[in-house]
Amino acid sequence: MKKIGLVLALLAVITLTGCAGMGTAAQHTPGFLFSEAKVPAWDLTVQTSTDASTRSGSAVCKSILGLVAMGDCSIEAAKKAGGITKVNNAEFELKNILGVYAEYTTRVYGQ
């Protein structure tokens, strides 16, 4: 009986902490079993412009069990990937499956 309680407690910890290291976008769109959302960068300070965006770039971070996270999903990495020097808009995309696997993408648009 104690083993079942321990397994359930461990499963709860793993499931509930899956997006703990995912940053602000994950905090705005929680999902216990599954999350997949695009979130605008309303709480992000970026240089914006009303000019038309001609390029886009993205950068991805991944997390496993909320314990191991890897990648560079910064705006600078997304700008570099898209060859962008002037950012017009930025958004985040996130995916979280049972807290086991999470993916966080920063996408920027600009020139």
34-44 pLDDT, tens digit each: 766 666 665 45
Residue 19 has pLDDT above 70, yes or no: no
Domain encompassing residue 9 = 2-110
Q: List the one residue out of 101, 74, 67 whose CA is nearest residue 90.
A: 74
The model's pTM is 0.62
Instruction: Give percent of the chain above pLDDT 90.
Output: 16
Handedness of CA 11, 12, 15, 17 (dihedral sign): negative
Residue 52 has pLDDT above 80, yes or no: no
Domain count, the chain: 1
Which of 14-18, 62-66, 97-101 comes out lowest in average pLDDT? 14-18
| 35: alpha, beta or left? (left if phi > 0; alpha if psi -120 to 50) | beta
